Amino acid sequence: MHTLIAAFALVQLAAPSPNSSYREPQIAAAGKLTALAFGSGSNILVAVSADGGVTFAKPVRVAEAPVVPLTRHRGPRIVISGNTIVVTAVVGENEAKGAHSHGLPSDGDLFAWRSADQGRTWAKPVRINDVPGAPREGLHTLAVDSHGNLFAAWLDLREQGTRLYGAWSADAGATWSKNVKIYESPDGTICQCCHPTAIFAENGNVEVMWRNVLKGSRDFYVITSVADRRFGIPQKLGNGTWKINACPMDGGAMVRDHGKTITVWRRENEIFLDELGRPETKIGDGKDATLAVAGGVPYAAWIKDSRLILWHGGKEEAIAAQAAFPNLAALPEGRALLAWEANNGISVKGLP
């Protein structure tokens, strides 16, 4: 077990050898069960905590594949649905070739794995995309509601240009709906390498956030599902715009709290907090922002010059001098849990 020395101290999950590393942590929490998903080489792993992140059991391998993309917010996603843990990831058999392949699969598909025994064993994977290779960019999101319904969304390449697609599951990831086109830009593509984020709102509707491409700007938008699993009119986030002819590879985060949708995201080198329908508020400078709301209070974290910055109660605090790809999750008792890449392993810290 990896044990904390004191409350809110640091727990570190070290990779088993100097030649391996743990990448792209993602946290899910429900009741006393907390699960941490991450990747390592060709493996997808999960470490489970039964005490709210105070200790973690030895990581269990969920799956192994020849190509598992683990860069720039790619990698597994995880949720807890009742007694079932569900992990999704894009994996492939063959590595893409060319100058911009970035270690991605040429034939990547989005799969879901399920565990009904708190992460000890895992069922065979189920493919979510209904066109082979469509999610091969490796960027996706996974959401769960209080009734155990799941929703996944991903950057899709089944046609020329990048579009946003999604699918639902009503049985904790055992089966998935026909794929639905969420959004396509009139300019021919959305931002090609920024991960989307999805959450469930009221009445079973889902909200999806992504970085768009419109008239030379790459700004964030949110779209909400309506009747018959169709989607409504996109809503731009923030009053400003970012004119850039490149992909920032930075997708932000979104949570739902007491009927409000709260987002955190990057424009140029600034980090903004945004409540849907209201002007954005700058909270710092950096990249790779993450967000959680615990006890009605927002926590945000991001990377600035390799340092991990935590924003809470309107104040910034440096958590670590060397860090990458943080992820925040709210715990049921009103605390938050923060995980990040550090020294080829994963560090986890409980926040009051």
DSSP string, 211-229: E--BTTB--EEEEEB-GGG
pLDDT on residue 229 = 87
| pLDDT of 8 over the 70 cut | no
The average pLDDT across 230-248 equals: 95
Structural domains for the chain: 2-252 (2.120.10.10)
Give percent above pLDDT 90 in the chain. 85
Q: What pTM was estimated for this model as a whole?
A: 0.95
**Which of the 8 DSSP states describes residue 93?**
S
**pLDDT tens track for 271-296:** 999 998 889 999 999 999 999 999 99
Q: Phi and psi of 227, rounded to 5°? A: -65, 150
| pLDDT of 196 over the 70 cut | yes
Cα angle 274, 244, 96; round to 5:
100
Which residue, chain included where needed, has tokens 């100097």? 18
Single-letter code of the amino acid located at 238: G
pLDDT on residue 32 = 85
The residues near 9 (Cβ < 8 Å, ≥ 6 apart) are 349, 350
pLDDT on residue 7 = 46
User: Among 1-5, 101-105, 218-222, whose mean pLDDT is lowest?
Assistant: 1-5
Could you please report the per-residue DSSP string of 38-69?
Answer: EEETTEEEEEEESSTTSEEPPPEEEEE-SB--
**pLDDT tens track for 14-55:** 998 888 899 999 999 998 899 999 999 999 999 999 998 999
Q: How far apart are CA 35 and CA 327, in angstroms?
A: 12
| pLDDT of 114 over the 90 cut | yes
Where does the pLDDT of residue 1 fall: very low under 50, low under 70, confident under 90, or very high at 90 and above? very low
| pLDDT of 126 over the 90 cut | yes
| pLDDT of 2 over the 50 cut | no
Sheet holding 60-64, edge to edge: 23-30, 33-40, 43-49, 60-64
Q: How far apart are the first and last CA of the chain?
A: 22
The average pLDDT across 284-312 equals: 97
pLDDT on residue 66 = 97
**pLDDT tens track for 97-113:** 876 677 899 999 999 99
| pLDDT of 239 over the 50 cut | yes
Where does the pLDDT of residue 204 fall: very low under 50, low under 70, confident under 90, or very high at 90 and above? confident
User: Among 49-53, 217-221, 248-252, whose mean pLDDT is lowest?
Assistant: 49-53
> How far apart, in Å, are the Cα atoms of 201 and each of 50, 193, 224, 227, 245?
28, 26, 9, 13, 33
pLDDT on residue 3 = 36
36 touches 47 (CB < 8 A) = yes
- Enumerate the β-bridge partners of residue 271: 266, 284
The average pLDDT across 243-268 equals: 95
Could you please report the per-residue DSSP string of 262-292?
Answer: EEEEEETTEEEEEETTS--EEEEE-EEEEEE
Check the CA dihedral 105-48-346-310 and report its sign: positive
| pLDDT of 227 over the 80 cut | no
Torsion on CA atoms 288, 222, 202, 118, rounded to nearest 10: -30
Specify the higher pLDDT residue, 92 or 333: 92
| pLDDT of 81 over the 50 cut | yes
